[in-house]
Amino acid sequence: AQKVTQTQTSISVVEKTTVTMDCVYETRDSSYFLFWYKQTASGEIVFLIRQDSYKKENATVGHYSLNFQKPKSSIGLIITATQIEDSAVYFCAMREGRGNTNKVVFGTGTRLQVLP
């Protein structure tokens, strides 16, 4: 069964610095999709960035980028030039590509606090 693990419960950084959040996953499938989502204090969950397993290039969107290390089953999220409004809970998630189970599994989340 697929599994997503985020070991960092909470991280604090000073604004304008770079932060990396870790995520490792388990899957038996050769094709899968990895995501990072952000949940703000209001409870809203928004999609940030996605990595397709067959792509070697790390995905980048704005000041979010991924560190995809397939041999290590690792997909880290890097936020550069952090801002106060980046303070939120960040979830790593995975969808196996096989079949039409439409099942997306989430990690336990990492709470990021960006301090002035």
- Position 57 contacts other proteins (CB under 8 A): no
Under the binding rule (CB under 8 A), the answer on residue 25 touching other proteins is no
Q: Which is nearer to other proteins, 13 or 105 (CB)?
A: 105
Contact segment (CB under 8 A) with other proteins among 16-24, 42-50, 56-64, 74-82 equals 42-50
Closest alpha carbon to 111 in 40, 15, 24: 40
Q: What does the block give as tokens for 8?
A: 């960092």
72 scored as a contact of other proteins (CB under 8 A): no
Please list, residue by residue across 62-98, b when 16 or more beta carbons sit within 10 angstroms of its beta carbon and e when fewer do: eebbbbbeeeebbbbbbbeebeeebbbbbbbbbbbee
Of the two residues 43 and 116, which places its CB atom closer to other proteins in the complex?
A: 43
Q: Report the candidate in 89, 108, 98 with the shortest Cα–Cα distance to residue 45.
A: 89
Of 85 and 100, which has the nearer Cβ to other proteins? 100
Judged by the rule CB under 8 A, the positions of this chain that interact with other proteins are 33, 35, 37, 39, 42-47, 50, 52, 89, 91, 93-95, 97, 100-106, 108-109
